[in-house]
Structure 1
């Protein structure tokens, strides 16, 4: 399966920049749906006040799914790959 990687940067209230990827099936291309996945992720981190728009989140590339992403994508429709300041 091929997946689309959406590169996302969100500025937290403490000034740190969160960097994470929203990974979805390649055929998922509705931006509002993808932003909704990002908002759901942020709400799970008690950061529901942060916005995700085309300014913060952009399509990056297509790649082959990695095994550890597959379960989350099958269950929720997306996987979040945390990179910077996400803890």
Structure 2
């Protein structure tokens, strides 16, 4: 499965930065839906209400998804790859 990768940086409530990628099927072009996926994820991390727009979340590239990413997309419509600042 080809996926679009959106490079995302969100300021946390304490001023630190969360860096993560949102991966969605390559044919999904609705940025509002992609941003909603990101807001769902940051809410799960206790950061609800933090801004997530095209300023924080930008298309990066398309790649072939591995099995874990495909499973997440099949289950919830998207996958998250945590890069830094997501678990502290």
Q: Which of the five TM-score ranges fits, normalised by the shorter chain?
A: over 0.9
The equivalent residue for 1:54 is: 54
Structure 1 position 39, deviation (Å): 0.4
Structure 1 position 46, deviation (Å): 1.5
Structure 1 position 13, deviation (Å): 2.0
The equivalent residue for 1:83 is: 83
Unaligned 5+ segments in structure 1 are: none
Is the Cα contact below 8 Å between 2:8 and 2:57 reproduced in 1? yes
Aligned pair count? 87
Length-normalised TM-score, structure 1: 0.96
Q: Deviating runs (4+, > 2 A) in structure 1?
A: none
The equivalent residue for 2:74 is: 74
Length-normalised TM-score, structure 2: 0.95
